[in-house]
Amino acid sequence: MTAGIGHNQPPTPFDEAVSAVDLVWTEASNWLDGATAETQAEADAIGTLLDMARKAKKQADGARKAEAEPFDQGKAEVQARYKPILDRCDLIASAAKKALAPFLAAQERAKREAEEKARAEAEAARKAAQEAFATAASLEEQEAAEAAAEAAKDADIRARVAAKDTGRAKGGARAISLRTTIKPEITDLKALMAWIWLNDRSALAGFAETYAAGAFRAGQTKMDGVRAVEVRSVA
């Protein structure tokens, strides 16, 4: 039989890593069936398997890093090359927003004043129409009341339009306007913690566990409400 193309090529680092891991996996399948070690010989054999697995992983991870290094270096070079021009765009956008903010804020104030005036006019027109209908007796008075009602409708439409009007700048694909966001400002930390304790205790417990673990790693092992528990695990 004629050997295929590449038949005599040496194995790649990936092939070698796969072979090493497969070898350990096959051996481990014979030993690690869910039962625990009962004798020193079994413990030593499993210890050997653990050592083999660590070495196989180290070999595979080393091959992975070596194979990925050119791509990592290429990505880092591309990122470094584009970063200055992307940063310049961000600086331009930041400066443009600062230049627009006072103008847009002034526009917004004027729009809201116009909205308030339109709402007041709509309310006055509505009351005038109600009064006209309440006192209308003759045909002429009823006709005048109908006209007042139409005027009230028009005033209400103008008020609705004014409410949607915002300060904006044009000059691109979309209009630029002020954006309103809501962010929390903690005024009473103790009250907030009490609220979380009553309404979302699991979130508070998760934070507390993370904080305590970090404090222990930093050497702070004495805290109220926390005790040190010794945990033994296979190294």
Tokens of 10: 């040496």
Quick one: pLDDT band at residue 188, thresholds 50, 70, 90?
Answer: very high
Q: Do residues 159 and 191 both lie within one domain? A: no
Question: Across the chain, what does the average pLDDT equal?
Answer: 88
Q: Do residues 77 and 115 both lie within one domain? A: no
Does residue 191 belong to any structural domain of this protein?
yes
* Amino acid 63: pLDDT: 95
Share of the chain above pLDDT 70, in %: 95
* Amino acid 2: pLDDT: 42
| pLDDT at residue 113 greater than cutoff 80 | yes
Q: Do residues 159 and 207 both lie within one domain? A: no
* Amino acid 3: pLDDT: 46
Quick one: pLDDT band at residue 7, thresholds 50, 70, 90?
Answer: low
Does residue 122 belong to any structural domain of this protein?
yes
Quick one: pLDDT band at residue 4, thresholds 50, 70, 90?
Answer: very low
Number of other residues whose CB lies within 10 A of the CB of residue 161:
12
| pLDDT tens profile 120-179 | 988 888 888 888 888 888 888 888 888 888 888 988 898 888 888 887 777 766 778 878
Does residue 174 belong to any structural domain of this protein?
no
Residues of the domain holding 75:
13-30+38-83
Positive/negative CA dihedral, 113, 118, 119, 123? positive
* Amino acid 1: pLDDT: 35
* Amino acid 192: pLDDT: 95
| pLDDT at residue 53 greater than cutoff 70 | yes
Q: Do residues 144 and 190 both lie within one domain? A: no
Does residue 195 belong to any structural domain of this protein?
yes
- DSSP letter, residue 12: P
Does residue 178 belong to any structural domain of this protein?
no
Residue 170: phi and psi, rounded to 5, are: -115, 165
Task: For residue 177, give the nearest of 108, 112, 115 by alpha carbon.
Answer: 108
| pLDDT tens profile 31-45 | 888 888 899 998 999
In sequence order, what are the residues at sequence separation of 6 or more whose Cβ sits closer than 8 angstroms to the Cβ of residue 192? 186
Q: Do residues 206 and 162 both lie within one domain? A: no
Does residue 160 belong to any structural domain of this protein?
yes
**Which one-letter amino acid corresponds to residue 211?**
Y
Looking at the 3D structure of the chain, how many domains does it have?
A: 3
Write down the number of H helices and E strands in the chain. Answer: 5, 2
Does residue 45 belong to any structural domain of this protein?
yes
| pLDDT tens profile 70-108 | 999 999 999 999 999 999 999 988 998 899 888 888 888
Does residue 2 belong to any structural domain of this protein?
no
Q: Do residues 132 and 189 both lie within one domain? A: no
What is the pLDDT averaged over residues 176-187? Answer: 87
